[in-house]
Structure 1
């Protein structure tokens, strides 16, 4: 099987008892706030649990300790440090989707920083929820994308029906001031070609990797590594969610999207800024065939600067940037300085919805993007857990 990074696959088979490797990478400052070059720094900034008292700084090694550290009985800001790999199933397979929803859920309260210690910290059988809260930071974690134990078949989904799963690695709903930084996400070792085929299609157990919806706002997604997944990041969950207009302000910067098939991201309504991201894909990949990278859906307003796309088999910029709406519903994408397989992405892929229109917003914070040809080396060196 080709194209699967060895280090990523090695992490994916670590046992849940594996200890954190604090000596592999320098520790991140646990009281760090979101950097100024992103939406999370606007409107007062994102500090998470940075001002937590010493008594509210916890180190956890298992699901029981984690639930205690995140409990509602703790008052004030908190910092939760994850040591090793925590298996939220605790060695007992989930009996049903409902059981998985209850035991696999990691609900983050407001004013919380969740951070891995060293390069080996993370979760399996977990879905992290940031729901109707403010001030949350998630950093330096290896996250194996959860596999729904009972996905549902919907014969009305698409032309020939589809399997639908619940559970994202991280879902952000109705929340503000969130920073997602230096995490690694992967389906491995449960790749899609290992799933049984039923009703003529793989019994898809994976949902999204990082989804942002329900009028969430002031979010920065920086220096993460997304690998080996199908539908990666959805910003805005429905064309009917008109309450999202004017919100979903998200910065996506310096991330590595490696052999993900789509949604990196797909955007509805949001004012989304993409800069210095590195996209690696293959339109003939044996498992995660590249369909598109950035989806420009209903009323999206996307500003792009100096991203690097390396997509084997891409024919035009529409293989990287795909419009999903037209007319009054059209989204807009404007780019400066990005490259697709070494050639300029713009102007052919700018304003993909209605040529001549503009996104009508300006990036409100200072940022200094690297030139696109310097992005691959920079992102490889710095994106992902342990970096």
Structure 2
């Protein structure tokens, strides 16, 4: 204020401190300009995490090739669904066919629930009602940290451009395993139904999921003919000429025969196909096939393998299976396997010795020591291809912390 200023409540509008004595002083304006109070630097508002349901496969895997993998990113708002039951899930898939769609799952979706006809009555009934057939241009993604898919098989067959993320997938249990007396030296129980099957398909990204036998682990199964009546088959298989597949940031746990790339030695049509990347996955107490490869050009890097050769339920047999005409490039993987000490205990040809493949490994560690596959395993190194995308793997010594902090569900933002 300037001029004649009366020191009254009327002048200042209100009395901020009633019934207390105040002083009012009027004086000349000083000749020095006071130093202004510094304006505080504003704190940037936190950036919202990216919406995971519209993310495309990263450039660091095979799924980025052939035009990339975007799933349902192009879906209009009318083709974005939230589902919590088998009937809703199947209806959403059917409604859009091969058109772009995003299907957000929540809660527990049990394909043997009353909503889908109740418990399976036979293997043929299970084959019919457990199938979740995914069309092209689809994203299936869980919300939150524990969206569960139970008693189901995600079938990605003869399609292109599919993404599966952030789901806890309980490996299906065959209701009627079949005894085969000619399987192995003393017979075995064989079962159908994998958790995810990728067949005759291109551009598929499987990311940030959990695959597990729990709660029906093998120690809960009956014994018949002297063998555990095995009801589980594979967790995730890629076969029949599929290409451009990335499997990343998943946790595979408590399972025996985990990942089969190429279904048989006789499927020679797979030659030149089965281009698959496995990166930043956690294989926890997985006995074998992590993965087992036939024919495929498979890139395996920065995965963390954790287990024990004396585990009571899922003893470690081997991790990477170098099968018939496999062409594997392995980089900077970390194998922490109690009881293992040499390359042959983690890299193995589980099939005929006359039908083996090739593998090149650089930078991998077994229990903290160099794997040294070139000198301590006897596989050919003539893989005949180079990685077609740019990637700078972490050192193997950093893999454990990185994978344990990021693999599995609950790491993505899905609104």
For normalisation by structure 1, the TM-score amounts to: 0.90
Q: 1-side partners of 2:84 and 2:125: how far apart?
A: 22
The question of whether the paired residues in 2 share the 8 Å contact of 1:333 and 1:349 is answered with no
Alignment match, 2:32: none
Aligned to 2:93: 70
Instruction: Find out whether 1:362 has 2:392 as its counterpart.
Output: no
Alpha-carbon offset, residue 193 of structure 1: 1.0
Per-residue displacement from partner, 1:51-106 (whole Å, max 9, x unpaired)?
Answer: 01110010101111101101055562111000111111114211111111111111
What is residue 331 of structure 2 aligned with on the other side? Answer: 305
Partner Cα distance (1:360, 1:378) in 2: 30
CA pair 187-340 structure 1, distance change in 2 beyond 3 A: same
1:22 maps to what in 2? none
Match of 1:105 among 131, 144, 163: 131
Is 1:82 the equivalent of 2:82?
no
The runs of 5 or more residues in structure 2 that have no matched partner are 1-48
Q: Which runs of 4+ in 1 moved over 3 A?
A: 72-75, 324-329, 347-352
Query: Offset at 1:140?
Result: 0.3
Helix, strand or coil for the counterpart of 2:408? coil
Alpha-carbon separation, structure 2, partners of 1:328 and 1:164? 25
2:322 and 2:349 in contact (8 A); partners too: yes
Q: TM-score when scaled to structure 2?
A: 0.84
In structure 2, how many angstroms separate the alpha carbons of the residues matched to 1:247 and 1:385?
30
Q: Among residues 79, 84, 89, which one is paired with 1:56 in the alignment? A: 79
- 8 Å CA contact 1:332–1:352 kept in 2: the answer is no
What does residue 157 of structure 2 align with?
Answer: 131
**What secondary structure sits across from 1:137 in the alignment?**
strand
RMSD: 1.7
Cα displacement (A) at 1:349: 6.0
> Aligned with 1:30: secondary structure?
helix
Is the deviation greater in 83-92 or in 40-49?
A: 83-92
Q: Once the two structures are superposed, what CA deviation does each residue of 1:257-312 show, in whole Å capped at 9, x if it has no partner?
A: 00000000000000000010000010000000000000000000000110000000
Q: Deviations over 1:153-209 (max 9, x none)?
A: 111111111111000010111111000000001101111011100011011000000
Q: Which residue of 2 aligns with 1:158?
A: 184
Q: 1:201 maps to what in 2? A: 227
Please point out which of 94, 99, 122 is paired with 2:120: 94
Mapping 1:1-387, distance limit 5 Å: 28-71=51-94, 74=97, 76-91=99-114, 92-324=118-350, 329-348=355-374, 352-354=378-380, 357-387=381-411
Q: CA deviation at 1:114?
A: 0.3
Q: Distance in 1 between matches of 2:219 and 2:135?
A: 36
Count of residue pairs the alignment pairs up = 361
In structure 2, how many angstroms separate the alpha carbons of the residues matched to 1:75 and 1:314? Answer: 47
Residue pair 1:300, 1:332 contacting (<8 A) in 2 also: yes
Query: Please, which runs of 5 or more residues in structure 1 have no aligned partner?
Result: 1-25
Report the Cα distance in structure 2 between the residues aligned to 1:97 and 1:204, rounded to whole angstroms.
Answer: 14
The 1:334/1:326 distance shift into structure 2, 3 A limit, reads farther
